Amino acid sequence: MAVREDAARPWTLAIRALAALVFIVLATLNSAGYRFGVGDQAFYLPAIQRHLEPESFPRDRILIDDQDRFNVFPRVAAALVRVVGIPQPALFLGLYVSALLLLCWAARALAAQLGLSPWGQIAVLAALTLKHRVGMTGANTLEGYGHPRMLAFAVGLAAVVWVLRGRPLAALALVAAAFVVHPTTALWCGAWAGVALVAADARLRPWLLAAGGGAVIVAAWAMAWGPLSAQLVRMDGAWLGVLEGKDYLFATEWPPDAWAMALLYAVVPAAAFAWRRRTGVACPREGAMLLGLAALVGIFLVTLPAVAGRVALAVQFQVSRIFWMLDVAGTVYAVWALADAGASRADAAARWRRSAAVACLLIGVAAARGAWVLWVEHPGRPVVQVSLPQDEWQDAMAWLRRQPASTHVLADPSHAWRHATSVRVAAGRDVYLEEVKDTAMAMYSRRVAMSVAERIGAIGDFNSLTPASARALAGRFGLDVLVTEQALDLPLAYRNARFSIYRLRPGG
């Protein structure tokens, strides 16, 4: 077929490089620029510091370590920093660029494997730069910082490409690599690629089924008697109260429009494949890929009762993130329908104009939206910020970093989003409460959730703190210093143009 012949034409190195560059630029603009030390790095950077400096975070190590138990990435990152000497800003910038480059390659390769024309492949890349939240999940399709989840997703998508190409060993190796980077994302990508392999490769099917059975047995052991057994409990009201507002965790409470979006995610790939198979343009292993997506939907539905019952492990796995895989598949199929569906050799010129028009339109939309996001919604923000910004907050944090590792800091609980980086990231010191991240990490441990709930209840309105109430908190929670923009009658330890750091107890 003409479309498949067009898709099979190799891209020159110059075209590949240009496409990757434009993809990275548009993705970065639509993510409101690249920044270091923000978002989920509020967990990863302290976790890396814990591996580099085991004595750090003497109070917050419970919160950090409870989430870090099954993560390999912080250990690998710490080893790279220690042995190779890579600075952490450079490490996460490399992670960010690597994830986007691999996502660009995997998405284009998937589109080519499904028979999209070269312009159609470009249109897919442009569409994928339009960052958005995946339905009602807690995941975005892109992040404006280096996140292991993004790299694991790109690796998983590349695994699916190798399934379609009939390279099972490469696909399995990529899934294994994804587990090192981000286990839960790798789990869903692995289910997608694994079911597709079982369906597509009769020769390996007995071995794959045996391996899958073994994995199920190991998983059952881990949940019943192994390291996950402590999480096979129901979350009580006190634990759930800390997670209030995390609507993405509980699919059984989604509003009707969220369920309509979930249904759309499932219907678009299925309908597109049915159309392609009826018109004879489906590729040989495409049905197997769709079975993998169907398996993900099945896993989501099967686990809903456990989520409704507030079983901690089911909530912590965030199974709703399987819609990320359906999102990217649906995007590829939607672009195919717009750019290439119904194409034939007889109208090659018309087909070329149509797919080129769709690609140019999506590039224009991505560029315009990216410019709006960065320069209108976030005026003054740099396109790329590879290290922590040099401002009054960072100056105060630099002073704190020079204090003993045991220093316990009281700051506005909303400081991380107000000032771009958290105390744990910028100062490397224990903090009384970082409300956004601490409530999210409380999902993984009831003892952490109870500690967070106690601290939220004890502090009340931060801006209403008085010297007496600040000292009372210090006595109750072992706080040493207070960082605030307010002028208070407390011993001053450090001051810059915006922030004052007060001592809360003798020797603090």
271-310 as b/e: b if 16+ CB within 10 A: ebbebbeeeebbeebbbbbbebbbbbbebbeebeebbeeb
Host H or E run for residue 501: strand 500-503
Can you tell me the mean pLDDT for 482-486?
96
- Tell me the one-letter amino acid at 26: L
pLDDT band at 453 (very low <50, low <70, confident <90, very high): very high
Q: Is the pLDDT of residue 2 over 60?
A: no
- Model confidence at 276: pLDDT above 70: yes
Specify the pLDDT at position 7. 56
**Identity of the amino acid at 449:** A
State the average pLDDT over residues 438-453.
Answer: 92
The model's pLDDT over 359-407, given as tens digits with 9 standing for 90+, comes to 999 999 999 999 999 999 999 899 999 999 999 999 999 999 999 999 9
Q: How many residues does the chain have?
A: 508
Closest CA to 373 of 99, 34, 96: 34
CA atoms within 13 A on the CB side of 104: 23
Instruction: Kindly list the distances between the CA atom of residue 90 and the CA atoms of 97, 145, 308, 386, 505, in Å, as whole numbers in the listed order.
Output: 10, 12, 42, 7, 38
The per-residue pLDDT of the chain, averaged, comes to: 92
Question: What 3-state class would DSSP assign to 479?
Answer: coil
Q: What is the mean pLDDT of residues 227-239?
A: 89
Rounded average pLDDT over 141-163: 97
Cα distance between residue 438 and residue 118, in whole Å: 46
pLDDT digits (tens, 9 = 90+) for 339-362: 998 766 557 788 889 999 999 999
What digits encode the pLDDT tens for the residues 82-110?
999 999 999 999 999 999 999 999 999 99
Of residues 262, 316, 224, 296, the one with CA closest to residue 135? 262
pLDDT at 209: 86
**What distance in Å separates the CA atoms of residue 298 and residue 499, rounded to the nearest whole number?**
52
Instruction: Say what the pLDDT of residue 9 is.
Output: 61
Q: What is the pLDDT of residue 48?
A: 96
303-311 mean pLDDT: 94
Closest CA to 449 of 306, 246, 238: 238
pLDDT for residue 426 is more than 50: yes
Backbone dihedral angles phi then psi of residue 407, each to the nearest 5 degrees:
-60, 130
CA 40 to each of CA 87, 94, 435, 463: distance values in angstroms, whole numbers, following the listed order? 18, 16, 13, 26
What percent of the chain shows pLDDT beyond 90? 81
Give me the mean pLDDT over the 163-175 stretch: 95
* For the chain, percent of residues with pLDDT exceeding 70: 97
Confidence of residue 6 (pLDDT cuts 50, 70, 90): low
Distance set, CA 79 to CA 43, 84, 152, 380 (Å): 17, 8, 19, 36
